[in-house]
Amino acid sequence: MTGTLVRLLRVLMTLLSHHRRHPLQTAFLLTGLVTGVALWSAVQVINAHARTSYAEADQVLGAQASHWVRSASGQGVSVEDYVQLRRLGWRSIYPILEQRLTTADRGVVNLIATDLLVLPGDDTAASSGLPEGGWMRLVTPPYEAWFPETLAQQLNLQNGDRLRLNSGTELPPARLFSREQQGLRAFMDIGAALTLLDRSRLSYLVVSELSGDAEDRLSADLASLNPQLRLVANQQRLDLTELTQSLHTQLAAMSLLSFAVGLFIVFNAVRFSLGARRHTLTTLRELGVSQRLLLAAITLETLVMSLIGTVGGLGLGYGLSQLLLPSVAATLQNLYGAVLDYRLLVQPTTVVQAWLLTSAGLVLALAWPLWRQAQRSIQDQRFEPAQWQQDAHARNRLLLGSLVLALLAAVLYFQLTSIAMGFTVLALILFAGAGVLPWVVALVLRGLQRALPESAWRLNWACGEGLAQLGTLRTALMALLLALTANFGVDSLVDSFRTSLSDWLEQRLAADLFVQSDTLDIDDLLANPGDWLIESHRRNGLTVRWQNRPTQIRGLNTQTSDTRALPLAAETDRASAWFEGDPGVIFANEQVRYLAGINLGDTVHLPVQAQTVAFEVVGFYHDYGNPTYQFYLPHERVAGLWPTAGEQGLGLWLSGGNDALAQAEAALLEAGARPGDWTRRDDILAISLRVFDRTFAMTAAINALTFTVAGIALLASLLAIHQQRLPSYAHWRSMGVSNPEWLLIAGLPLGIGLLLTWLLSIPLGTLLAGLLIYDLNVLSFGWTMPLIWRFEPAITLFWLTLVVAGVTFAISALQVRLRLPQALKHLGEDAA
């Protein structure tokens, strides 16, 4: 037993000695592994963190939240009602003010405020965990506003700075501090916030817990106190988990792609090392080492590598997740209202998963090739075919594999039903494309060789050299293709989405001013408005539960110009009945069509009091960015069916007069609105697009990282190529090949390879974007939009590739320059 162990250790040491002799190869192997694992684990950490945060959605600012008390009118809850409930003994109730604020430079900040003195649980004002000065500074002038660090950075705030709002008000001095579940929001004392923002009503009340018959008793108390008040169970935890599922699947898929690109590097590095290690393996076999022992040693080496890769990858991944978190958190908050806090934890399952993934990757990229090499009989190795023959075979096998993958993708595509399946198709297409690439490059090089006249011997030589390099270069080119395709595809997606969204917003946001106020007397405002007003659109609505999801019902004025111009994505010939006020028809957003599976002409049953009312769906409208189902009905119909439906904003069209805006603002103030209650159309547009850009910042970040990984792969390949080709370069030099000639011969094939990779990435990227837009986006979010194809991203990627290739080639050329004298010396010795 001990003897076997000693032998095993010896074999292992012999195997590992390779890494000592070729540290650069090992470095690349580990780089590939670590970066791949890092990207994957970064996303994994964020996903796990988000899920934990959803599980905490039954809490608000660190306190339990089993129910909400909301006003059915949407006007918030009065302080008097809140105090009455406390005086009735409902101590588990605490007040919340949530306010969307517009900053002086047209940014958006969400504010959340509560009274820490009554927050249930240990973490009250009286308890620990508050910053220096604690509660006292929050509640005494000039007060304090707490900003999480990320938000403070976005707003460029330091401790003590005051954020200026567009209403002219300044928030209290900032403090960089964050409470539980504060998310990307500013936190203030509720008294200070109400005073400062000149508000009188609370957004809603939270009920921390209700046991036994308390729910019924509270409902009864609410009914007798104020019939507008409703007790609503907190289902956010379930809702968030369901609503955000698509986003997390998308993130996971992107991270797996990064991991795959990382594996390409590993595979690349291992392939380069195989040549060198072949002799070691042969020698070991010749010395009588059994296949089993060799397998055990290879397994151990894989284990060592996987541990290093996991630890390094997780470490780097954790750092990356810190960088990516703000943008993911922004996405989740913007799209779903989910609040993520900023204390990231690596969970044990992530560590185990990372290790398993690394090990699986290494078995594929390291152990399997090594084992195959070791298995080959010594005899075989003596008579193995020439390198170029092997390469040609490999290319053909890859081509065949690609065709199989493409076929599989095509078959799967026509049965696409889930996001996971969609991403499988996407991966199959990507890998099929990558597999075709070496064959295409070889084809072009050979075609060129044939087409070139004999006099162009240098170009001919370059093509030949290209074919010789291709075996080593192909993996890097494939990795680069994946990165370029992903970049181009996702760029096209984001571009298309941004264009669709801004067109849609332009159309939908037709009014000049949008008012959302809990103090405005709309009847008073519209009773005798004056000549500044051309048209107004008053909406009402409420949120109900339909198909077990929060569902918005909105009442529109069917006669206003914006409703008349409502762009429908699909409609039946009964759509006009909706505009005529037919009580039996309804418009739904596309989410209802694609996520709830309702078709045109179908009947939906919406909850009205304890019953349901049936409507025929006669049209679907685009509703980008909304994670919930939504229905449009005429204003009066909503008011008639749901007496508790509240005001959902007012749109005002102003006359062209110079002082129309000033007059409108004066009238709004007169009618009870407060500064900051209205937003101008341009501001909403700008804010929406800013939110969009922030939401997609993460996509760009992951793309950039994938590209970096591909760049590293390219550098590794070039260094390996030049290492392998150094003796040949020495020959050439001895034959009198000049430096410019060398550059042409060694560099041109790379240029051709890169050009072809880039060219291939364009159709593949387009295919990817198409799949994302027409299938995955619809499956994930229920939004449809046209693919807007632009060449510009491709141009940008071309230059980017050129720069990366230029830099990597320069580094490798420098390496050649440094080593050439030594190689020439060897050449001399060999000749002698």
Partner 1 sequence: MRVYARIAALVILVISTSLAQAEIREPDPGAALDIMRASGEGYPITKPGQPIHFPEDHLAHPDYRIEWWYLTANLTDAKGQAFGVHWTLFRTALRPGSDAEGWTSHQMWMAHSAIHTPQGHQYEERFARGGIGQAGVELTDTGQFDAWLDDWRLLGTAESPVPGSLTTTVNDITLQLDWQADTPWVLHGDHGFSQKSGQGQGSYYYSQPRLQITGQVIVDGTSIPVSGEGWLDREWSSQPLAQDQQGWDWFSLQFDDGASLMAFHLRQENAEPYVRGTWIDADGQSRSLGEGDLLIEPLEWGEVDVDSGKDARKSLPLVWRIELPGQNARWTVWAREANSWLATLVPYWEGPVTAEGSSGGVGYLEMTGY
Decide: is 523 part of the binding site for partner 1 (CB under 8 A). Answer: no
Nearest CB to partner 1, comparing residues 137 and 395:
137
Decide: is 124 part of the binding site for partner 1 (CB under 8 A). Answer: yes
Give bridge partners of residue 447 from the DSSP assignment.
Answer: none
Nearest CB to partner 1, comparing residues 33 and 205:
205
The residues near 707 (Cβ < 8 Å, ≥ 6 apart) are 483, 484, 487, 800, 804
Closest separation in Å from C-beta 226 to partner 1: 15
Nearest CB to partner 1, comparing residues 51 and 86:
86
Residue from 185, 105, 41 nearest 705 by CA:
41
Alpha helices in 528-598 (DSSP H): 561-564, 575-579, 590-594
Instruction: Please count the residues of this chain forming the interface with partner 1, following the rule CB under 8 A.
Output: 31
How far is it, in rounded angstroms, from Cα 513 to Cα 684? Answer: 9
Decide: is 771 part of the binding site for partner 1 (CB under 8 A). Answer: no
CA dihedral 698, 700, 705, 707 (to 10 degrees): 160
How far is it, in rounded angstroms, from Cα 225 to Cα 80? Answer: 10
Closest separation in Å from C-beta 209 to partner 1: 14
Nearest CB to partner 1, comparing residues 195 and 655:
195
Q: Which stretch binds partner 1 (CB under 8 A): 38-46, 112-120, 357-365, 410-418?
A: 112-120
Decide: is 220 part of the binding site for partner 1 (CB under 8 A). Answer: no
The residues near 162 (Cβ < 8 Å, ≥ 6 apart) are 170, 171, 172, 173, 174
How far is it, in rounded angstroms, from Cα 28 to Cα 475? Answer: 13
Closest separation in Å from C-beta 624 to partner 1: 39
**510: three-class secondary structure by DSSP:** coil
Please identify which residue in 16, 103, 131, 640 interacts with partner 1, judged by CB under 8 A: 131
The residues near 402 (Cβ < 8 Å, ≥ 6 apart) are 431, 432, 433, 434, 435, 436, 439
Q: Which amino acid is at 718?
A: L
Please identify which residue in 192, 305, 346, 638 interacts with partner 1, judged by CB under 8 A: 192
How far is it, in rounded angstroms, from Cα 103 to Cα 753? Answer: 50
The residues near 799 (Cβ < 8 Å, ≥ 6 apart) are none
Q: Which stretch binds partner 1 (CB under 8 A): 4-12, 188-196, 242-250, 690-698?
A: 188-196
Please identify which residue in 195, 353, 424, 708 interacts with partner 1, judged by CB under 8 A: 195
Residue 725, CA distances (Å) to 71, 598, 811 in order: 77, 63, 15
The residues near 719 (Cβ < 8 Å, ≥ 6 apart) are 24, 28, 811, 812, 815
Q: Which stretch binds partner 1 (CB under 8 A): 116-124, 243-251, 367-375, 586-594?
A: 116-124
Closest separation in Å from C-beta 560 to partner 1: 39
Decide: is 654 part of the binding site for partner 1 (CB under 8 A). Answer: no
Residue 659, CA distances (Å) to 85, 456, 629, 662 in order: 46, 75, 40, 5
Please identify which residue in 4, 17, 140, 156 interacts with partner 1, judged by CB under 8 A: 140
Closest separation in Å from C-beta 139 to partner 1: 7
- Count of Cβ atoms closer than 10 Å to residue 588 Cβ: 24
Closest separation in Å from C-beta 214 to partner 1: 12
How far is it, in rounded angstroms, from Cα 265 to Cα 283? Answer: 27
Closest separation in Å from C-beta 44 to partner 1: 32
- Cβ-count burial of 21 within 10 angstroms (0-12 exposed, 13-18 middle, 19+ buried)? exposed
Packed helices 23-55 and 2-21: angle between N→C axes, nearest 10 degrees? 100
Largest CA distance in the chain: 108
Decide: is 194 part of the binding site for partner 1 (CB under 8 A). Answer: yes
Closest separation in Å from C-beta 138 to partner 1: 10
Closest separation in Å from C-beta 217 to partner 1: 13
Is there a contact between 537 and 518 (Cβ–Cβ < 8 Å)? Answer: no
How far is it, in rounded angstroms, from Cα 330 to Cα 326? Answer: 6
Q: Which stretch binds partner 1 (CB under 8 A): 27-35, 86-94, 150-158, 675-683?
A: 86-94
Please identify which residue in 6, 89, 666, 821 interacts with partner 1, judged by CB under 8 A: 89
Closest separation in Å from C-beta 341 to partner 1: 19
Closest separation in Å from C-beta 104 to partner 1: 25
Phi-psi region of 399 (alpha: psi -120 to 50; beta: other; left: phi over 0): alpha
Decide: is 343 part of the binding site for partner 1 (CB under 8 A). Answer: no
Q: Which stretch binds partner 1 (CB under 8 A): 26-34, 128-136, 162-170, 789-797?
A: 128-136
Q: Which stretch binds partner 1 (CB under 8 A): 185-193, 224-232, 305-313, 748-756?
A: 185-193
Please identify which residue in 134, 584, 640, 770 interacts with partner 1, judged by CB under 8 A: 134
Closest separation in Å from C-beta 75 to partner 1: 19
Nearest CB to partner 1, comparing residues 64 and 327:
64
How far is it, in rounded angstroms, from Cα 640 to Cα 302? Answer: 70
Closest separation in Å from C-beta 103 to partner 1: 23
Please identify which residue in 28, 94, 135, 632 interacts with partner 1, judged by CB under 8 A: 135
The residues near 637 (Cβ < 8 Å, ≥ 6 apart) are 555, 581, 583
Residue 292, CA distances (Å) to 7, 295, 377 in order: 12, 5, 14
Cis before 142 (ω within 30): yes
Nearest CB to partner 1, comparing residues 85 and 432:
85
Closest separation in Å from C-beta 208 to partner 1: 14
Please identify which residue in 10, 86, 162, 376 interacts with partner 1, judged by CB under 8 A: 86
The bridge status of strand 63-64 relative to strand 59-60 is antiparallel
**483: three-class secondary structure by DSSP:** helix
Please identify which residue in 5, 13, 55, 136 interacts with partner 1, judged by CB under 8 A: 136
Please identify which residue in 75, 127, 167, 728 interacts with partner 1, judged by CB under 8 A: 127
Decide: is 766 part of the binding site for partner 1 (CB under 8 A). Answer: no
Decide: is 115 part of the binding site for partner 1 (CB under 8 A). Answer: yes
Residue from 439, 297, 434, 444 nearest 710 by CA:
434
Q: Which of residues 161-180 bind partner 1 (CB under 8 A)?
A: none
Mask 61-80, x = binds partner 1 (CB under 8 A)?
------------------xx
Decide: is 9 part of the binding site for partner 1 (CB under 8 A). Answer: no
Output DSSP code: residue 655.
P
Nearest CB to partner 1, comparing residues 45 and 85:
85
Closest separation in Å from C-beta 294 to partner 1: 58
Residue with tokens 């102003």: 654
Closest separation in Å from C-beta 112 to partner 1: 16
Alpha helices in 735-790 (DSSP H): 739-770, 777-781
Q: Which of residues 551-610 bind partner 1 (CB under 8 A)?
A: none
Please identify which residue in 8, 16, 117, 452 interacts with partner 1, judged by CB under 8 A: 117
Mask 402-441, x = binds partner 1 (CB under 8 A)?
----------------------------------------
Residues near partner 1, by CB under 8 A: 79-80, 83, 86-89, 91, 115, 117-118, 124-136, 139-140, 190-192, 194-195
